[in-house]
Structure 1
């Protein structure tokens, strides 16, 4: 008996399907597993520790993770936590179903759906077998026909934690990869995994920038031993990517694709950098060509970003909103949605979304900078200064947070120091760094009182590929530069470049409605 009724919901456990009035609801993965476990408990109150042990294990998570997943389940069911219909919170104890679920007697169920479900399971098993064979074959080819060895348990656990996408789990992955390398110093898979985890620590979780040196060294060590190892080139590209060295990162990703054209992680990473270089049509084409979205963690946000810059605002909005709902533990989902709202002048909505994002345990310098901008827009300079200071504390090695802090400071730093930092950023931009460095330099020069030089730096960023005209028009950071007629000329250059990219999208017949 593996079918349930819960109020007006029909739940088919083997098919992982939830329906209301015959229409399917989007409940899958961990949300479905949580619902299934609660159904098995009837109306018993289920505590946090029990849910963690029975639903999340062997992963180690906290109560906030459970709370976030319950929120996602409620959203998928159309439930309201303040007036629940299906699942209620029991303060200090856990969660309880609002009604007693009933089991459906399958002996009375129509036989045809059961045969169909069984056929689906068989086909799924065949498909999984073929996929496993393909993966094994790929791994055997990539090791120059050496005898395959059984995977290390440490390596499996490390990869599991690295894939969760949270800081604590990434730290666990680093520790496990290091343990594996202690017992097998030449394990290339462990070195590649450790390289990626080092980069993620610095790039995603506000870690020490020195981790990027370690990440680069680890990837280069594998490449020195096996120059055709595509995963190592991806890891090397990622270490450059996190430094803002876009051209070097692109070389790594494109080299990986030349060695392994089916490498979706490399393709999605290259797509992200195509966007940074202003190649919006190339970015969208690459993102849409990803065959396995699970291999590209930020793919929905990347496609939304492409569409937003290209002017397909409604299509971008639906993707940003959905990503924000479905991935509360993804820092970039948490940042992308309120940032989109601010760029389009919807500041009250942006603040509400940011307030929710701040409760999700994914604090990041970008979130704090957005908080500073929104506070500045509503005239609260004290709150803006406090948020900028938190951004600097989270990412002390970053230039942009310090620039925003300088702009908001009651006493500005010496003009000579601001000029020196700006020139260093512009020199890096000439050598292939992120176009955002040009924006950073423009703001430093405006703060130093040299508006003409600031506008020249902004034009340099645009020439290097910066294409977010909406942000330039909306952010309070550029209020001073917007007073110059030359600012309008700079933004017009962005609009013209985007128009060319939009025409390329039409010429290539890219489907702007496709993608996750």
Structure 2
């Protein structure tokens, strides 16, 4: 079968996995290219959902919505319009087909154009032989892959897919590898990360993260110089809310392996949450490899821009991540949260609805929808959303607080008092700034405005910088106009502005910002 095809003004090279328009490459990679290749290989035939899922995604298990989202991304990359398609047509109820039959390109003619001189062709042939010989020599030196390595490779493949079901498949394989070899570092760290992901990404309780911590501690005990083990330890601590312990483990991993961009970005996220905005941005910009391979980096950069007041740049990155990474859990949360803080409530609600259609089920989205309902005066609707948030994350303290507070029109002051006492006895040493927002909500429920402002001031001291959210949320509406509340907001803005100036005057200031260097 030919390897190069013409489709309208596109040149599609299946062997090199490349798409060009007028000799300029387009950003069509990974699953998007595999989807396009599948359609090209079938000519002008209609390709059904089952065939696409089997050819492009197998052995991963996906649904028709995943296929639809990937077609949308491919169309965006090609500049195609679903309403007037040139390249990919939707055949209702059946699947997809190319807009016209692809035309095979004569590779022989192409090779003659690229190699006009026989001597040059000989040199290229010798170079190809030498390159092939070197590759074969390296391959012959590689050890034969045994059953354990094959098991771990398949587990890593599933884990990299970034979806709940595939995380479970990865975990099952890692556990199987551990049963065969309990001290295998790769199996220990892989099982640790998959268990922590259950807690951090997929609404499981803290027990999974505790198991993850135990596995990672065993791995670092066996190999104290293993960067991957320290990264897994950081992730487990991260998912348990131990921000300082997580930062220490992440930083040790990066010292052991300075090329570990993913772990560097994980540390950057925690810098961001602790109010170290310039440090977070610098770490996210200091990538040693391909930044696009760091899964949540763009969302983090958008958040750092937002908190430092670079709103246009923040919006561009949030929207890009939301549009081009429909399976990115945090992109599906961050974009509507950004719109909410901008008081663009209808747009936020629409983004939440789209995230749900993509299969994202997160307590954060339910809480946002509840706050939007409160803003619109729909208390009953808000109560329903807060209950759904609690159902998704029964172990979440803030979800329980909101669900119980809004369960009745009458505030149970005794319950609130007990809840505040419990919070102060169990959460007072919690380093996460957002934890103090829950205490502020409880204080406002019993009209303790001074207690609420004190809690928000503590949040600012711990690193909370999102003054816009506090102004937008109906949870804090009763503080509007309170001078002490305004002073807390001013403190947050002033500290964020200090980081903003540090970025603008830094040598590493990104070119998309109005740098002063």
Q: Normalization by structure 1: what TM-score? A: 0.89
Q: Secondary structure at the match of 2:100?
A: coil
Whole-angstrom CA distance in 1 between matches of 2:297 and 2:400: 30
Residues paired across the two proteins, number: 497
Aligned with 1:240 (options 237, 242, 257): 237
Superposed CA deviations along residues 146-204 of structure 1, whole A, max 9, x for unmatched, are x9988521111111111111101111111111111111111121111111111100110
Partner in structure 1 of residue 209 of structure 2? 212
Aligned with 1:276 (options 273, 291, 294): 273
Counterpart mapping for 1:145-294 below 5 A: 152-292=149-289, 293=291
Q: Secondary structure at the match of 1:479?
A: helix
Assess, with a 3 A threshold, how the Cα gap between structure 1 residues 89 and 491 changes in structure 2: closer, same or farther.
same
Superposed CA deviations along residues 98-152 of structure 1, whole A, max 9, x for unmatched, are 2222222233447566899x99xx99x98xx99xx9xx99xx9xxxxxx998852
Q: Secondary structure at the match of 1:18?
A: strand
- Partners of 2:313 and 2:512 within 8 A in 1: no
Partner in structure 2 of residue 48 of structure 1? 49
Assess, with a 3 A threshold, how the Cα gap between structure 1 residues 462 and 234 changes in structure 2: closer, same or farther.
same
Whole-angstrom CA distance in 2 between matches of 1:514 and 1:469: 24
- Partners of 2:210 and 2:240 within 8 A in 1: no
Whole-angstrom CA distance in 2 between matches of 1:57 and 1:337: 30
Superposed CA deviations along residues 447-506 of structure 1, whole A, max 9, x for unmatched, are 232111011001000100001112112122221222422111110001100111112112
- Partners of 1:415 and 1:449 within 8 A in 2: no
Whether 1:444 aligns to 2:442 is: yes
Counterpart mapping for 1:341-360 below 5 A: 341-360=339-358
Partner in structure 1 of residue 323 of structure 2? 325
Superposed CA deviations along residues 361-405 of structure 1, whole A, max 9, x for unmatched, are 121111111222222223333322222111111111011222332
Partner in structure 1 of residue 381 of structure 2? 383
Assess, with a 3 A threshold, how the Cα gap between structure 1 residues 457 and 423 changes in structure 2: closer, same or farther.
farther
Measured after TM superposition, the shift of residue 46 of structure 1 is: 1.0
Unaligned runs of at least 5 residues, structure 2? none
Counterpart mapping for 1:398-409 below 5 A: 398-409=396-407
Aligned with 1:368 (options 353, 366, 374): 366
Unaligned runs of at least 5 residues, structure 1? 141-146
- Partners of 2:209 and 2:239 within 8 A in 1: yes
Q: Secondary structure at the match of 1:228?
A: coil
Partner in structure 2 of residue 411 of structure 1? 409
Superposed CA deviations along residues 278-324 of structure 1, whole A, max 9, x for unmatched, are 10010001111122336532111111111111111111111111111
- Partners of 1:10 and 1:20 within 8 A in 2: yes
Partner in structure 2 of residue 10 of structure 1? 11
Q: Secondary structure at the match of 1:152?
A: helix
Measured after TM superposition, the shift of residue 421 of structure 1 is: 3.4
Measured after TM superposition, the shift of residue 8 of structure 1 is: 3.4
- Partners of 1:426 and 1:438 within 8 A in 2: no
Whole-angstrom CA distance in 2 between matches of 1:111 and 1:447: 79
Superposed CA deviations along residues 202-258 of structure 1, whole A, max 9, x for unmatched, are 110111221111111111112222222222222122112112221121121122223
Give the aligned CA root-mean-square deviation in angstroms.
Answer: 2.9
Whole-angstrom CA distance in 1 between matches of 2:410 and 2:25: 58
Assess, with a 3 A threshold, how the Cα gap between structure 1 residues 149 and 346 changes in structure 2: closer, same or farther.
same
- Partners of 2:339 and 2:348 within 8 A in 1: yes
Whole-angstrom CA distance in 2 between matches of 1:432 and 1:285: 26
- Partners of 1:373 and 1:476 within 8 A in 2: yes
Counterpart mapping for 1:288-307 below 5 A: 288-292=285-289, 293=291, 296-307=294-305
Partner in structure 2 of residue 143 of structure 1? none
Partner in structure 1 of residue 104 of structure 2? 103
Assess, with a 3 A threshold, how the Cα gap between structure 1 residues 437 and 181 changes in structure 2: closer, same or farther.
same
Whole-angstrom CA distance in 1 between matches of 2:108 and 2:358: 44
Measured after TM superposition, the shift of residue 266 of structure 1 is: 2.0
Whole-angstrom CA distance in 2 between matches of 1:412 and 1:244: 33
Highest Rg: 1 or 2? 2
Whole-angstrom CA distance in 2 between matches of 1:324 and 1:111: 44
Partner in structure 2 of residue 144 of structure 1? none
Whole-angstrom CA distance in 2 between matches of 1:380 and 1:339: 19
Whole-angstrom CA distance in 2 between matches of 1:189 and 1:221: 12
Question: For structure 1, which segment, 65-74 or 23-32, has the greater mean C-alpha deviation from structure 2 after superposition?
Answer: 23-32
- Partners of 2:375 and 2:474 within 8 A in 1: yes
Q: Secondary structure at the match of 2:480?
A: helix
